[in-house]
Amino acid sequence: MVAQTYQLPDLRSFFARKPGGPISPHFKGAYHGYNEWVSNTLGHYFSIEVYNAEMPLLAALTYPFATELELRAILDYMTASFMLEEMTDRYSSAKALKNSEKWLKTLKDGQTGASTRHPFIKLMSKEMMDRLKSAVDPFHWPQFISTNVDFARNTVREALDREGSKGVHSTRDLHSYMITRRETIGTRPCFVLMRSTRRLYIPDSVLEEDAVKGMENAALDMVYIANDIYSFKKEQGDNGALNNIITVILKDPDTSHLDLQGSINYAGDLFKAALDEFHAYRGRIPPFDSDMDKYLSAYAEGLIDWVIGNIEWSIVNNRYKVFCSDSDRRSNIMRLGNRYNLHLPSVICFILLIAFIFVYRHDPTTLRLTYVPRYVSSSFSSSFVQ
């Protein structure tokens, strides 16, 4: 099968510099400490998922001013938010609501999760919440919780949309998708953690000012647009990239005339438009007192660091595997096989199903399921997201 090639936009080239520097100097320490904890705590199946996500790299690239202690706490939160998605993505709205409530109660008060039978909630309560709360500035903790209340609510909203056959199939217009995606990507709490690592004491009243809020929303748009562009290849293999801006562009009546390359280009244009909006909103922020003006200027630079760090991580991480070679990475060339071809896991499942039917039809009384391949066993994963 000959792969088709597509030119991705060079999103990193839109930025002349990364204000906070390339990466946290504490990356190696956080990397080794976190991976050792993952290996000793999460077990084989889920640890593979976490290793592939390369969260220590994401944290170090997006929080270049964070100390090693802060990076470790940020990684606890990234792991917890990753698990919230696992605990809600595969279930009914009722189960998603129940799991999200457990998750949020434990985030607010780590001790409330001690009595639950859910293994990950118990882990949050036993280890992760103490590290997280000790590393977050007390000024920022209420803002952190508030943004997570909204994040948890939106994960349940997604479950309701799936259950009601809404979501991506009925909300085909690009504008609605972008408004929703801004909240479901879960980056607002990460921005609070960034303000904490930089000691930026910006009250809610200032954050709600139109220009400040517009600047933050534009940064969120850049994060999810970049994420959707670079994760498209992986998502196409997983589920046809149903919840991805490129697919939405292909389906929106105003842009459905575009082919895949045209949709990728359009997504790149949306990213550039969001960057232009970011600068426009930043320029419209009214003056406050001298300290607040400094905080807001530093916050704007921190948002740019986060956007750039997300791009840098997306390009190289093993979860997305966007590029087939260093040459493709330098040229921003993405290679896709025929999307209508069956993927290997589907072929394996189909063969196993046919074999099962064949054996059962010939001698159902002697059928014994004595062997289940290791690669289709997910008992550990199931226990974590029960």
pLDDT at 338 over 90: no
Give pLDDT tens digits for 98-144.
999 999 999 998 777 667 778 888 889 888 999 999 999 999 999 99
Q: What is the pLDDT of residues 9-35, one digit of tens each?
A: 999 999 999 999 999 999 999 999 999
91 HSE (CA, 13 A, CB side): 18
- Which residues face 336 on adjacent strands? 4
Domains (ranges, CATH) in the chain? 4-341 (1.10.600.10)
Band (pLDDT 50/70/90 cuts) for residue 2 is: low
In a 13 Å sphere around the CA of 189, the CA atoms on its Cβ side amount to 26
The DSSP bridge partners found for residue 333 are: 7
Q: Are the beta carbons of 200 and 299 closer than 8 angstroms?
A: yes
Enter the pTM of the model. Answer: 0.84
DSSP H helices in the chain: 27-41, 44-53, 55-62, 68-89, 93-108, 119-123, 129-135, 141-163, 167-170, 174-184, 188-197, 204-207, 210-239, 245-251, 260-283, 290-316, 326-331, 344-362, 379-384
**Per-residue confidence (pLDDT) for residue 67, from 0 to 100:** 96
For residues 95 and 163, which has the higher predicted lDDT (pLDDT)? 95
> What's the rounded mean pLDDT across residues 312-340?
90
pLDDT at 238: 79
Cβ-count burial of 290 within 10 angstroms (0-12 exposed, 13-18 middle, 19+ buried)? exposed
Q: Which helix (H) or strand (E) holds 6?
A: strand 4-7
The number of C-alpha atoms within 13 Å of 236 and in the hemisphere containing its C-beta is: 21
Angle between helices 27-41 and 55-62 (to 10 degrees): 150
Q: What are phi and psi of 333, to 5 degrees?
A: -100, 125
- The answer to whether the CB of 71 falls within 8 A of the CB of 63 is yes
Q: Is 334 helix (H, G, I), strand (E, B) or coil?
A: strand
